Every structure is written in structure tokens, then in C-alpha cells.
Structure 1
Amino acid sequence: MFTFIYLTTLVGNLGIVTLIFWDSCLHTTLYFVLSNLSLVNFGYSSAVTLKVMAGFLTGDKVISYSGCATQLFFFGVLVTTESFLLASMAYAHHTAACKPLHYTTTMTSTIYTYLASVAYICDFLTSSIVIGNTFSPSFCKSNIIHHFFCDITPLLILFCSDIHITESLVFIIGLFAVFFPFLVIFTSYLLIFITILKIHSTEGCQKSSSTCASHLTAVSIFFGTIILMYFQPSSRHLIDSDTIVSVFYTIVIPMLNPLVHGLRNKEVKNALMKAYDCLY
């Protein structure tokens, strides 16, 4: 099952990136963000799923100290980058729906490149801080991580020292890396729905509602599972429920994103049909 999910994630996300690179009609700022989002999905899914699959195939469930830190670092960088990319896409949809005449002047390639660069740099720095703070104390309680990958929550259980400083740090960084993008997304879609209600055309209203609803569903699952996982008191964490929640945002969502953000898009489907015609 994990192999099927990962292969679907691999083909879906890298297929979207290849399609955007191949078709000149998709060389726009919005699809630049979509290609980055697909790469991020593929990246953090690979950081987690490949190790899980190797454990299933070989029966070796051991991960080295440096391997654990590396996995947590790349997962943290890429997941938080996705939250900023989703916020950028939501703002772009808001501009296209609410201010269509200003879209080409507001959402330029320079602005998108700047936003993507800032997202990667900020998330690199914040993940470095979290990794340094997590792996600087000693682990003395056990060497068993009750999780299917190295994540911050199960690692905190193994701390010898007080975990409140690390928990506070994760919470503060989370306010910036999770709640701020979520606020941008929520505000953008709220304004979009208000605009949709003013549309007199039934066909236009249904089309806009369908597109926004699919994006909002994917965003809600992504942010909902992350908030449930990382922003509740440590005393309320249950190993089994945390594992189930983690499967959604590490394995399932990267598989669904190409369908939600790509194949439901008319221009992407047209590019896919052109690619199919060229091959056959």
C-alpha cells in the first residue's frame, strides 16, 4: 500500500513539474508556485516514505542519530515551505477572483520568485533552530521512537531535560510558519466566497465554487492535521492517534495534491492532452 501511494505521489508530482516545464502555455507565475509545491510534496514524502518502505522490506527499523536529525530537518523545511506556498496560491486565487484587472500587475514573476525564496530561506533557518534545540540535549530515557519517522513530538518524550523550552520554541515558530499562512489562506478564501456570492452567472458561480472548494478541502486537511499534531499539550498526545494523523500530512496529502491543484485545472488538463497527443 505504501509503495502504491509513493509511486502515485512520485508520478503525480514530478509529472506536474515536467508538464509545466514542457508546455510554454503554463510558464506563468501561478504555475511556477504549483511546480514548487509539487517538488515540496515529492521531497517531504520521499524523506519519510522511503525509510518506511525500507523498514517494511528489510525488517530493519533502526535509524542513525545523524539520519534522524537529517530526516527531521528536511521534513521540517519542506512542510513549512508548503504552508507558505499554499498561502501564495490562495492570495493569487483571491487576486484573480476579486481583482482580475490587477492580477497581471500584482502577481508578477518577480514577486512570486521573491515569495518562494523568502519561504525557503525562512524555513531553512527555523528548521535549523529547531534541530539544534532538539538534538543538543541528551536522550536518556530510551532509544525507541514510538513513531514511523523522526518527528519532534515523539523525540521530546525521550528528553532527559526539561522540554518546556523546546515546546515553547516549536509553538512560537509554528505561529509564524503555520498560523500566519493559515490566516492568509482563510482571509483570501473568505473574500473569494463573498465575491462568488455576488456573481450573477450560475455557471460562473458553480465553476468558481468547485475550484475553491477542492483547494480549500486540501488546505483544511493539511493545516488541520498539523495543528492537531503539534499544537496540543504534550500530556494529551496519544501514540496511536498521532501516528494516524501523521500519515495524512506526510503520505496521503502529497499523493492527493497533484489531483486537487493540478488535474482539476483546465489548463493543466489541456497540456496533459497535448503531451499525450505528441507521444501517441
Structure 2
Amino acid sequence: MRTLSFAHTSVGACLPAGRVAASSAATREWAWGDGSGAGARVCVLDSGVDPGHPLVGPLAGSFAAFDDGGRWSVRADDSGDPAGHGTACASIIRSLAPHCELTSVRILGSDNRGSSAGLLSGLAWAVEQRFQLISVSLSTRHRPVKEALHDLSDRAYFEGVTIVSSAHNSPVHSYPWRFSSVISVGSHSLGGPERIETNPSPPVEFFGAGARIRVAWPGGGTRVVSGNSFATPHITGMCARILGRHPRFRTTQLRHALSLISDNLEGASR
């Protein structure tokens, strides 16, 4: 397996089958059927999404978090993606779940940076809209907002909204990926886009494809990227597939389903 140069990446360890409780073996046919993700509502909380890119397809809506003199609000926004990061993530989700419903909420600027207040505002809005999945390929190290972000993540969990969150590329403490109420994602560099690994050693839960991924980029082009940011939409896309088959699943069931069909589950032949 090729070595990745960032934190929270797969070391190729197997997950003992006994650590995943199941009455019978699970197949990917059971997990997601045709795999289109039809009916799954997904929010991409990022730098925006280029709505005209052919690898992204139509958006259900495009919004942004705005700072109105210290009072944050989320409103309709047609400025697209000034950075490229959100378009890249959206294209990965769409490639795995082509018929899911995608909505963009821009909280990052052209430098791929944003504020913790903007993160809280955008995430709170997405939870209020009851998206089934919120893909968050970013995190904050700003400790004063940790408690508020933790409470919001717990609220999402109990209201049936699943947050799929990227681990930081550096070995630092950041959030929301470290919260138990979210599905946290690191990277692997082995296998294709549908390879899932369950991490037998915390803190990150799952590994998705995160090395040399070709993605959409604003303006109709593509780029090759690497990082936990791009592993996260792979897991989001597969969650959307599962929801297309099992629309009543929530975070607990999605987490269990991902574990059951993981490629590194001992004895698995996928």
C-alpha cells in the first residue's frame, strides 16, 4: 500500500469480524441495491459548488452563510465556488450516488478559509432543513466554539441528520470530526472509490479513497487531489447509496452498515 503523507490514514489493518455484531452476512446488494442514491438529500457544507460543471450536475439549491454585522444568516447565493474545494467534493458524491439530491452551502472563501461562526451558522441551517446527510470536509481548532459545535452535532444526531466529517490532515485536535455523534473519515490509498475500511483503532472511524483522486474543478475542468477532505465525500456518497435503499436509516444504522460491508472486515470477500 502506498504511504500517505497526512494524518489519520489507513495502515492496512483488518477489523476482526467479532467486533461487528450481525445476525447474518451483509452484502452490498443489501446495503444499496442499484447504488444510485435516489431520494437521498445531501448538503455539501464547503466553499460552494460550480452548478454548471458536467461532473456535478444540477443542484437542488445553492446557499451561503453571511455575516450581517455579527449576526449570521444563510441565504440563497449564486456566486458558485471561488475556491474549487466544494466542487471537487460534490463531484465525488455525485460520481458514487448519481441520483442523490445535492444542495450547496458556502461557508469558505476563495482562500478555502472561513470562520467558526460561519461554520456554526451553516451547519445549524443544514440541520434545520433536515438534510439526511451533511458532508463536512473541513474542521475547526477554535476551542471556544467546541461546546456549541458539540451540542449542534448531537442535535443533528437525535433529529435524524447524519454529519460525515473529515479528520484533519495534521495530527491536531479539531472538530466536529472527533465527536461521537458524527461519522468521521480519514484516507486510504488502496483500491478504488468504493473501497471502505473501518478503523480498528480510534479516533477516526472510516477510511475512504483519499489519494490522487481526479475531481471536478470550477470552470469545467478537473484536477488530481489528495487528502482526508476528499475521502469524506466518498463515504458520504456511499451513505447516500445506502439511504437510497434504506431511507429510514439514521446515523447509527449507517455506521453499522458501513462496518458490515467494509473491505477490511476479516473474512470479507468484496
What's the TM-score, normalizing by structure 2?
Answer: 0.28
Q: Which one has the bigger strand percentage?
A: 2
Comparing both structures, which one devotes a greater share of its residues to helix? 1
* TM-score scaled by length of structure 1: 0.27
Work out which of the two has the higher radius of gyration on C-alpha atoms and give 1 or 2: 1
